[in-house]
Structure 1
Amino acid sequence: MAAAPHPAAPAILAAPVPLPGAFLRAPIAHRALHDRTAGRPENSPAAFRAAIAAGYGIECDVQPSADGVPMVFHDYDMKRLTGLPGRIAGRTSAELGATRLLDCDEGIPTLAGMLALVAGRVPLLIEIKDQDGAMGPAVGPLEDAVAAALEGYAGPVALMSFNPHSVAALARAAPGRPRGLTTSAYAPEDWPLLTPAVRDRLREIPDYDAAGASFISHEAADLSRPRVTDLRAQGAAVLCWTIRSPAAEAEARRIAANVTFEGYAAAIPA
């Protein structure tokens, strides 16, 4: 029996919200300004504080705890960043807050805690990690929880996800917030858990309009893709990930309006 086609993102009623200009000025620190040798692991409060002090924007990732609280954490599994086995979604927010990140004395932060820390001082680009497992439609609770955490937050913030269904869910939960798609070349070696059909479909960014997006954050090595050029010509703001040197940044800026970077001190325009 043939596999069912990958579902397109549902059309939504919320209009796209333009990406604020603040996201197109200072470079955006990938998972905040992290440096484990300096006691600032990725997505840690210390890395957030360093990015704020340097005047960079901040990109961060959100995963749910067992009790549905948005936590600022990239991986699905805790081992790499905490030394402990198990999925982050298998522990409560209280347990996660008491779990120390490697190379520092701080626990895994909640999104609400990070919002209080940033307090609107720099732009905050929040990536919602896919909870469907195959970039499909089994999403919604995390997007609703993120929208609730953002209620009353007045600083520049934008939301994005690789999963277009997640972006559509964000449009329903937080229609006034800028939304975008995190996009990629979807090389098989980088996305082994996705089927070839899903990779082939998402590679061409077909859900941009249906998801109500106003920007993309695209894989830097794939910025020459014609679809990226077409979206930019149609008015999409183009960001990119992840830049790791000034030379790579200069190359990316031929197409992208701003970069997400790590591992070096990106220059802030005067």
Structure 2
Amino acid sequence: MEFYLDTYIAHRGLHCHECPECPENSLAAFQEAVNHGYAIELDVHLSSDGHVMVFHDETLTRMTGSNGKVSQYTLKSLKELRLAKGDEEIPTLKEVLDLVQGKVPLVIEIKVIDHDGVLEAEVMKLLHNYDGDYAIQSFNPMTLKWLRKHYPSLTLGLLVTRDFSDTKLSRLKQRILANMTFIPVIRPNYIGLDIDTYSKIQLQIIKRFTFNHLVFWTVRTKEQMRTAKRLGANIIFENIKP
């Protein structure tokens, strides 16, 4: 079985919400995941000077207290910031690859709103000689379509939710995304489904088009773990240890 179906995946590393010494998407959190044998989910953005940075939010405020977006800062400026008032820096994807070295699988979420292929291309350059298991996932179907075209054998995951409260998408676009209309074009290896909003119709679509290759996110309770197990799904988890 493929790793994304049978290896528990630590959301933004094995981090601690209350621990500044091991914040989300930090080298410390990734090392903890390696130590426990969990796969690692992480998020990437581009800096203003073209470096692939590992960071979840588009803006820096929540995790660093600084203003502006990741994309507005150079690598040097981003490296001067600290995560969650601790000592951890914002890592680059290269630093994460050097740390993990194939010891556990990686699940890399590409964070793009307006797809242009630049971040995708930079990520793939870094992964070109990487000796380890990895998958690329995204909410943006255009990103995954581009990757499938240029890297046909790449392991891809389409992220899906029915919660669009933090977006300005039209209702039509929301329906297109929630109903996974792009599955035949992208041919994803798995669907990453929001465990808080999933529907029976979505499960039926996944079963039909991906042979039930399903990963639930973000699993935070034992009850949600039982739901995932009952439905034959793997999990991206945080705040618990499976």
TM-score relative to the length of structure 1: 0.84
Unaligned runs of 5+ in 1: 1-19, 133-137
Checking the alignment, whether the CA contact within 8 Å between 2:5 and 2:214 is kept in structure 1 is no
Unaligned runs of 5+ in 2: none
1:249 paired residue among 214, 221, 225? 225
2:117 alignment partner in structure 1: 140
Counterpart code for 1:183: V
Task: Give the C-alpha shift of residue 188 in structure 1.
Answer: 4.1
1:200 paired residue among 163, 170, 175? 175
1:59 paired residue among 41, 44, 54? 41
Distance 1:256 1:161 in 2: 22
Does residue 1:181 correspond to 2:163, yes or no?
Answer: no
- Cα distance per residue 1:31-71 (max 9 Å; x no partner): 11110433211101110011111111111111111012111
2:67 alignment partner in structure 1: 85
Counterpart code for 1:221: D
Q: 1:139 aligns to what SS in structure 2?
A: coil
Q: 1:50 aligns to what SS in structure 2?
A: helix
Does residue 1:263 correspond to 2:220, yes or no?
Answer: no
Counterpart code for 1:199: Q
Checking the alignment, whether the CA contact within 8 Å between 2:161 and 2:198 is kept in structure 1 is no
Q: 2:122 aligns to what SS in structure 1?
A: helix
Task: Give the C-alpha shift of residue 24 in structure 1.
Answer: 2.0
Paired residues in the alignment total 240
> Structure 1 or 2: larger helix share?
2
Distance 1:232 1:112 in 2: 35
Distance 1:236 1:106 in 2: 38
2:113 alignment partner in structure 1: 131
Task: Give the C-alpha shift of residue 256 in structure 1.
Answer: 4.4
Checking the alignment, whether the CA contact within 8 Å between 1:33 and 1:262 is kept in structure 2 is yes
Counterpart code for 2:16: D
